[in-house]
Chain A
Amino acid sequence: MTVLSVSKLCKAYGGVQAVCEVSFSLASGELLALIGPNGAGKTTCFNLLNGQIAADSGSAEFEGASLIGRKPRQIWRMGVGRTFQITATFSSMSVRENVQTALLNFHGKLNSLVSLAAYQYRDEAMQLLTRVGIAAQADRPCAVLAYGDLKRVELAIALANRPRLLLMDEPTAGMAPTERVALMQLTAELARASGIAVLFTEHDMDVVFAHADRILVLNHGRLIAEGKPADVRANRKVQEVYLGSGAVYGGAHA
């Protein structure tokens, strides 16, 4: 089942086409990697989908509803979870409270002035923390966690609204190599078990080729290749972009 379908998405900054006529679709349970060299337009593309910036033209539909022009919090309400390149968690709260806050909002209880937040949705929060493997850290303040564990907290927070689509910006950036593999392994298992579609950008090609079901390659804002890891690996254009052919910036593909 198609969860996300993007068609002819464009965004320009001044004269620079950061993202140009990008189209793709994503099915539930699928892990789709968005790769490309620095400045290819990955982050722009990503931020167009999560509501951080507005597209110039084109469409992006999540379960048939348009994402364009919506704020991040509205997109979250529709059932999209996200993690950040540099982890963003609530440092004055414990790990469990971070997840509880997201759960409170998911259940529409965040405006209550009366109930004690620390006792709400405790079990549900613990289940999520168990799923990402950091239940043992539940009571520690987020501020003292190791970076790899913070990434897992983010994942637990992102799962709180029972998303059908997860947007992960550089999920393994800043992590040790063994942790990277473990985190992506976990993400892939969660996605397949719950039928969550995952779109992620990534610099680490080992991670990408080991876990992605499908890969999109961006260069200069355009989609230059799309397909299974093996096909993309064999694609000549992609090899030029990554390894260089001496003519990449001269416009071999333009």
Chain B
Amino acid sequence: MSAFQERQNEPDLSLSAIFVQLLNGLAAASSLFLVAAGLSLIFGVTRIVNFAHGSLYMLGTYTAYSLVQWFGGGIFGFWGAVLLAGLSVGLFGALVERLLLRRLYHAPELLQLLATFALVLVIRDFALWAWGPEDLLGPRAPGLEGAVAILGRRVPEYDLFLIVLGPVVLGLLWLLLTRTRWGTLVRAATEDREMAGALGVNQAWLFTSVFALGSFLAGLGGAIQIPREPAVLTMDLSILSDVFVVVVVGGMGSIPGAFLAAVIIGVLKAMCIGIGNVSAFGMEFSFSKLTLVVEFIVMAVVLVIRPWGLFGRAQGVPRGTASVEPPLSLPSPGMLKALAAALLALTLLPLVSDRYTLVLLTDILVFALFAVSLHFIMGPAGMHSFGHAAYFGLGAYAAALLFKYALPMELALLLAPLAAGLGALVFGWFCVRLSGVYLAMLTLAFAQIAWSVVYQWDAFTGGSNGLVGVWPAQWLSGKTAFYYLALVLCAGGALILWRILYSPFGYALRAGRDSPLRADAIGIDVRRQQWLGFALAGLFAGVAGAVYAFSKGSISPDTLSIPRSVDGLVMVLMGGIQTLTGAVAGAAVFTWLQDTVARQTEFWRALLGGIILFLVLVFPQGIAGFLRERWEARAGKRQS
């Protein structure tokens, strides 16, 4: 002990301090594991990336809080409330699966994701309506209020209980999966869903029960948090990114993997908080600032070394469900005329519209280019990015910083996209090594890393406050002038991206998506092609970001946050991923909805979520996809 104490300087690096942080981390890992195990089970069987899983966790916390209030704080009251909260969330999950997701199993995979995201919005506002915006901290757990002295420090008994709970749940799940008939079916379906179906497994029932169990675990994971952490409205998305990381690091579908990953990440996070600032070689280094990103760094490293996570296995290509991508043919003269007419209308619009409409239209233009650039990699290149806001934000911040520190506005606006493109080139190099959900998660990780750097680097980026005073040059300061600038840059950018899809480069991208095997056999370096495509999309997202920064006059870390990335996904999917114009339609509708709905009601998220759910259920092929289908049906009738 004394040897340690002698070396101890500012930060508390004594053995006992490290040990206490270790216990703290293990306690946090247990809850993380419960939630992650649920997500992993659901993904393994249904192949749905459940964005609403964090919301189920949040519901668990709030429900447990209310039930404890209702039952009173006795031993039975508390533990009964925790268990009942888990069970009711499980029941809720089963209902969601039966009433909503079941209708979408034949829709493209990404649409299910969109539906679960709409649920996030609805549940968030439900919590706001039911429990209000204040943080709610539950009572201590009866029977475990005290603390135990370990190495001269006091460790809460409840933490020790949690540390035991994790392995116990792992053991129970293991028994359930290996010793019961139901568990065998779950494992069979995780391994090969089509074969399980062909062997007569009742998939509908299996999916519902897996969803119920997964939701129960999420709810329970939330419920056991009430003595440790307050229930807050933002906990849905914050736990979600943690849980995504855990599941991906452990390997999607692997329960032991999720446990190991939860422990690694829980402990690392606690350690980063515990160590605090360390000075080494004359440099001050803050470990606590690492807390926000450490898990994403772990994930990036793991994915680069083991692309399917620690315990995961390469996923077989699902049989029979492989969606055939629609042909991309050159636009007909009629469509080109329609496009020209639309551009002309946009050019003439300032003559008749008011200031408010112009600002909204500028926003729509910005997000249209953002969505088109995301569609460029998601559609034709087949890379699903969950972190596209990183490049939008990099463009916005680069523009603001260049403007604030050195350059005139025009030059900053021109150079900023290069910074975004460079960022995409660096991040993309890692991302194109993966595919499918893993690629999506790695893009998310990079976006989160970029966000946390911006969020914490107060001296340079303004930290959480962001940067203000990012105004356009004098000649562009009018709303009309700026609208024209946005029109030229954003519409121009979208047209360039579309045009590239018809070039040989675009064909090579599609070739890599359609059949990597064939592409390789005709000499295409698919990875390199995807990498360049990724960078190109990042560059144009950066253009949108730079225009956005000057249109608002200020920027905050929100520009590259996860919700912004999800906005992009919603736009692309709502418009329909199979058509080029879909992204524009989605961006216009989404931006307009967000703007108008937000004005009408306090519960705009729920309304927006409801609208998305409605659109998903009625137009599973997206808005533009629906219109095209109608158009083709009419054209077909006329021909015959």
A111: CB under 8 A from chain B? yes
Contact with B along A159-186 (1 / 0, CB 8 A): 0110000000000000000000000000
B522/A161 in contact, CB under 8 A: yes
Q: Known contacts A111-B505, A113-B503; is A84 also within 8 Å of B514 by CB?
A: no
Contact of B503 among A74, A97, A106, A115 (CB under 8 A): A115
8 residue pairs of the A-B complex, CB under 8 angstroms, read: A84-B518, A90-B510, A90-B518, A91-B325, A105-B508, A109-B504, A110-B524, A161-B522
A94: CB under 8 A from chain B? yes
Q: How many residues of B contact A (CB 8 A)?
A: 29
Q: Which of A20-28, A116-124, A242-250 contacts B (4 or more CB under 8 A)?
A: A116-124
Contact with A along B488-509 (1 / 0, CB 8 A): 0000000000001011111110
B261 → chain A closest CB, angstroms: 30
A72/B505 in contact, CB under 8 A: no
Contact of B523 among A92, A111, A161 (CB under 8 A): A161
A73/B525 in contact, CB under 8 A: yes
A105/B523 in contact, CB under 8 A: yes
Contact with B along A226-240 (1 / 0, CB 8 A): 000000000000000
A77 to B324, CA, bound (A): 29
A93/B505 in contact, CB under 8 A: no
Our count of residue pairs bridging A and B at CB distance below 8 angstroms stands at 108
B135: CB under 8 A from chain A? no
Q: Known contacts A90-B514, A90-B515; is A72 also within 8 Å of B502 by CB?
A: no
Q: Name the CB-closest residue of A to B516.
A: A88
B229: CB under 8 A from chain A? no
| Residues of chain A at the chain B interface (Cβ within 8 Å) | 50, 71-74, 76-77, 82, 84, 88-94, 97, 100-102, 104-106, 109-118, 120, 141, 143, 157-158, 160-161
B330: CB under 8 A from chain A? yes
A104/B504 in contact, CB under 8 A: yes
B520/A110 in contact, CB under 8 A: no
A117/B520 in contact, CB under 8 A: no
A205 to B364, CA, bound (A): 64
> Given known contacts A73-B524, A84-B518, A91-B514, what 13 new A-B pairs fall within 8 Å (CB)?
A73-B520, A88-B517, A90-B511, A92-B514, A93-B510, A101-B522, A104-B508, A110-B508, A110-B524, A112-B505, A113-B500, A117-B506, A118-B330
A71/B520 in contact, CB under 8 A: yes
A161 to B523, CA, bound (A): 10
B521: CB under 8 A from chain A? yes
B15: CB under 8 A from chain A? no
A91 to B503, CA, bound (A): 17
| Residues of chain B at the chain A interface (Cβ within 8 Å) | 324-330, 500, 502-508, 510-511, 513-515, 517-525
A116/B324 in contact, CB under 8 A: no
Contact of B520 among A72, A91, A93, A114 (CB under 8 A): A72
A116/B330 in contact, CB under 8 A: yes
Contact of B327 among A94, A110, A111, A158 (CB under 8 A): A94
Contact of B324 among A100, A101, A143 (CB under 8 A): A143
A84/B517 in contact, CB under 8 A: yes
B491 → chain A closest CB, angstroms: 18
Report A-chain residues with C-beta under 8 Å of the C-beta of B523: 73-74, 76-77, 105-106, 161
Report A-chain residues with C-beta under 8 Å of the C-beta of B519: 90
Report A-chain residues with C-beta under 8 Å of the C-beta of B514: 89-93
Q: Name the CB-closest residue of A to B519.
A: A90
Q: Name the CB-closest residue of B to A51.
A: B520
B503/A112 in contact, CB under 8 A: yes
Report A-chain residues with C-beta under 8 Å of the C-beta of B324: 91-92, 143
Report A-chain residues with C-beta under 8 Å of the C-beta of B510: 90, 92-93
A93/B502 in contact, CB under 8 A: no
B299 → chain A closest CB, angstroms: 28
A237 to B510, CA, bound (A): 48
Q: Name the CB-closest residue of A to B513.
A: A92
A102/B503 in contact, CB under 8 A: no
B504/A120 in contact, CB under 8 A: yes
A185 to B521, CA, bound (A): 24
A91 to B513, CA, bound (A): 10
A121 to B329, CA, bound (A): 17
A157 → chain B closest CB, angstroms: 6
A105/B524 in contact, CB under 8 A: yes
Q: Known contacts A88-B521, A91-B324, A117-B502; is A101 also within 8 Å of B515 by CB?
A: no
